[in-house]
Chain A
C-alpha cells in the first residue's frame, strides 16, 4: 500500500529539468530530483541549477517532503543562497502545492509547485517580515521529466 504522501505525489517522483528565471534576473538550467525514502514516509528533493552555456553550478539545494498529523505537507529545505527553513503547506487548489515559512533574517519564503502533463511548474518568492511578497520578483521554472517515470514502492502498475 502506498503511503498517503506517495498517493498524492507519485507522479512527481523522478528527475525534472528546464530553464529557470531567477528573481535576481539571472537565467539558468534547473534540475529537481524527487525520490521516495523509507518506503514512502518522506520524499527527498535534490535541486541544482547551472549556467546554461558553461554548465557552471549556480545554486544547490536539498529538502524533504513529509506529512504532519493534519495531513499538511511539511518541507524542511536548504538552499545554498537562502539557508535553512521549514515550510508548511498553505491552502490552495487541490492540484497545487503551496508552501510558506520563515527564513533567517526576518525573511519569508513562499513556494508554489504543480505537475500537469509531465510538466513541473515552480514559482518562489522571498519576502521580508510580515508583509506579503506578492509584488516581489519571483524565481520561476517549468521543467520536463527526464527519463522514465519511476514507479513508487507499493504503487500498482
Chain B
C-alpha cells in the first residue's frame, strides 16, 4: 500500500511517552507532528531525553514531503546522524516506515505504528551500513506514545 501525507494528518499534535533507547537507557520521548509546506508536507520534531531531562539523547527535525514523482521522502537533521534523506517504504495503513543511510554510512530505520486510536508505537534503530540486519531481538529504541497536551498551551 502506498501511504500519502493525508494518511498521517490524524497524527498532528504532540505525543509523549517513556521507553528505552537502543543502548538500553530509559528515555522520555516527545514527538510533535505539524502540517508543513502549505499542507503538502508533514513536519516531525522528535526529542528523546533522559528521564530527568538533563541530557538530550537524540533530537530529530524532519519534513515528510512528496518528490515531483509523487514518492514521499523525509528530509531530516539528526543530532546523532546529521543530515538525512529517508525513504518512506510502502506499508499498511497506520504505519509510517522510514529508512535510509546517513552521510556517515549508517543505516537508519524509523517506524511509527498506530496501535490504537490514541497510541503510537515508535521503533528505531541504526547500524553501520552493510552490518547484520537486526531480527526482532536486536536492540532498538522503542516507546509507546500517547497524545499529550502541548507544553506551550495555556490550561483552560
Q: Which residues from chain A sit less than 8 Å from chain B, CB to CB?
A: 37-38, 41-42, 44, 46, 48, 57, 60-64, 66, 68, 74-78, 80-84, 86, 104
Question: Is there an interface contact between B83 and A80, defined as CB atoms closer than 8 Å?
Answer: no
Q: From DSSP, what is the main secondary structure of chain A's interface residues? A: strand
A62→B61 CA distance, assembly (Å): 11
Within 8 Å CB of A68, what residues of B? 82, 103
Tell me the smallest distance from the CB of B120 to a CB of chain A, in Å.
22
Bitwise interface map of B from 23 to 61 toward A, beta carbon under 8 Å scored 1, else 0: 000000000000011101100000000000000100101
Question: Is there an interface contact between B59 and A38, defined as CB atoms closer than 8 Å?
Answer: yes
Q: A64-B76, A82-B68 are in contact. List 16 more A-B contacts (CB 8 A).
A: A37-B61, A38-B77, A42-B77, A44-B61, A60-B37, A63-B75, A64-B83, A75-B83, A76-B77, A76-B83, A78-B63, A78-B75, A80-B68, A83-B67, A83-B68, A86-B103
A78→B83 CA distance, assembly (Å): 12
If A38-B59, A86-B103 touch, whether A66 touches B65 (CB-CB below 8 Å) is: no
**Size range of the interface on B?**
20 to 34
A57→B37 CA distance, assembly (Å): 10
A86→B103 CA distance, assembly (Å): 9
How many pairs of A and B residues are in contact by the CB < 8 Å rule?
77
B113 at the interface (CB under 8 A from A): no
Within 8 Å CB of A63, what residues of B? 75
A30→B59 CA distance, assembly (Å): 29
Within 8 Å CB of A83, what residues of B? 67-69
Q: Which residues from chain B sit less than 8 Å from chain A, CB to CB?
A: 36-38, 40-41, 56, 59, 61, 63, 65-69, 73, 75-77, 79, 82-85, 103
A50→B65 CA distance, assembly (Å): 19
A83→B84 CA distance, assembly (Å): 14
Report which of A64, A75, A77 forms a contact with B61, defined as CB distance below 8 A. A64
If A76-B84, A80-B40, A86-B85 touch, whether A62 touches B75 (CB-CB below 8 Å) is: yes
Tell me the smallest distance from the CB of B55 to a CB of chain A, in Å.
13
Tell me the smallest distance from the CB of B99 to a CB of chain A, in Å.
15
Question: Is there an interface contact between A60 and B38, defined as CB atoms closer than 8 Å?
Answer: yes
Question: Is there an interface contact between A80 and B37, defined as CB atoms closer than 8 Å?
Answer: yes
Tell me the smallest distance from the CB of A35 to a CB of chain B, in Å.
10
Question: Is there an interface contact between B68 and A66, defined as CB atoms closer than 8 Å?
Answer: no
Chain B residue with minimal CB distance to A37?
B61
